[in-house]
């Protein structure tokens, strides 16, 4: 009798579990979408960028909450927003389009300095010239839902030349040294002019030189002196170029020996190494 009673308890418990599972399936939460955010700004057309007051606010963008909804009500999840800025007419698809990630805030203020840097160093706009830009907001919930896009706002901007990301050589000269080069590490075994870059502008340098595959090098203002030296942040990285820093680890040459064009851009803090 006791055994029958225990079996009955097990059956009732199993039935209760199955019933609860069915109720959970019936109350499954369904994503129902949202409303595209509405983008506004405190400036209607031309954004002033005074070089004499770079810390002042240039523009503030604001947008509405997309109010993502589920079958059990409006979402309380954090929404991530991306403010996109691109050349007018590019349909937000140019290779230099700038995307600024903004957690869950509903506004973003740019100072003159930050917006100008985004335009000159990000979109690579020519300075001292008027340009037309377009902006929009992308909202992203992160639940597999498609992102929502706001309306587009257009503005006229005239960026100025921002300070270079990396301070260029104080003497206006740049050399490449190391066992990847014909002259090796200082003291050089050849004419130093072979390792000297041509100065295209105060922040841009170029050289065509034979490199020994897989060997190392650094960039210096004066061969044999290490006060001003530039290279990659981490060793054995970026053989074809990328970001560079002051006083970093040795650069590594591409795996194949040959003649290469090296371009060093102090304005952007980037360099490239390409076969000649």
CATH 2.60.40.3620 for domain 175-275: yes
Q: Is 41 exposed, middle or buried (0-12, 13-18, 19+ CB in 10 A)?
A: middle
Radius of gyration of the chain (CA): 29
pLDDT score, position 32: 61
Phi, psi angle pair for 127, to nearest 5°: -80, 155
Note the pLDDT tens digit of each residue in 62-110: 999 998 886 655 555 678 999 999 999 999 999 999 999 998 899 999 9
Instruction: Specify the domain boundaries for CATH 2.60.40.3620 within the chain.
Output: 175-275
> Residue 8's pLDDT is what?
45
- Tokens linked to 176: 């490449």
Alpha-carbon 152 to chain mean position = 22
Q: What is the pLDDT of residues 147-194, one digit of tens each?
A: 999 999 999 999 999 999 999 999 999 999 999 999 999 999 999 999
Residue 26, judged by CB atoms within 10 A of its CB (0-12, 13-18, 19+), counts as exposed
CATH tag for 31-157 (out of 3.30.56.10, 3.30.499.10, 2.60.40.10, 2.30.130.10)? 2.60.40.10
144 — alpha (psi -120 to 50), left (phi > 0) or beta? left
Report pLDDT for 27. 59
Look at residues 246, 175, 256, 249 and name the one whose alpha carbon lies nearest to residue 214: 256
Q: CATH 2.60.40.10: which residues of the chain? A: 31-157
Q: Is the pTM of this model over 0.85?
A: no
């Amino acid at each position: 009798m006791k055994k029958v009673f225990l079996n009955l308890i097990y059956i009732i418990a199993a039935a209760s579990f199955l019933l609860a599972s069915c109720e959970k399936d019936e109350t499954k939460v369904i994503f129902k979408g949202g409303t595209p955010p509405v983008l506004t700004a405190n400036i209607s057309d031309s954004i002033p960028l005074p070089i004499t007051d770079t810390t002042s606010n240039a523009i503030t963008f604001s947008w509405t909450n997309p109010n993502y909804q589920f079958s059990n009500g409006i979402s309380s999840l954090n929404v991530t927003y991306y403010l996109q800025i691109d050349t007018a007419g590019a349909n937000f698809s140019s290779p230099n389009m700038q995307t600024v990630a903004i957690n869950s805030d509903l506004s973003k203020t740019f100072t003159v300095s930050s917006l100008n840097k985004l335009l000159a160093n990000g979109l690579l706009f020519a300075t001292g010239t008027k340009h037309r830009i377009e902006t929009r907001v992308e909202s992203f919930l992160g639940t597999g839902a498609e992102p929502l896009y706001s309306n587009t706002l257009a503005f006229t901007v005239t960026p100025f030349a921002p300070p270079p990301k990396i301070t260029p050589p104080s003497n206006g000269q740049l050399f490449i040294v190391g066992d990847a080069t014909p002259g090796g590490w200082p003291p050089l075994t050849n004419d130093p002019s072979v390792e000297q870059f041509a100065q295209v502008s105060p922040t841009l340098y170029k050289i065509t030189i034979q490199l020994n595959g897989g060997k190392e090098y650094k960039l210096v203002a004066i061969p044999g002196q290490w006060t001003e030296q530039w290279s990659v942040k981490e060793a054995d990285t970026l053989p074809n170029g990328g970001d560079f820093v002051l006083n970093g680890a040795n650069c590594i040459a591409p795996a194949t020996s040959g003649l290469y064009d090296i371009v060093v851009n102090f304005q952007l803090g980037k360099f490239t190494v390409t076969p000649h």
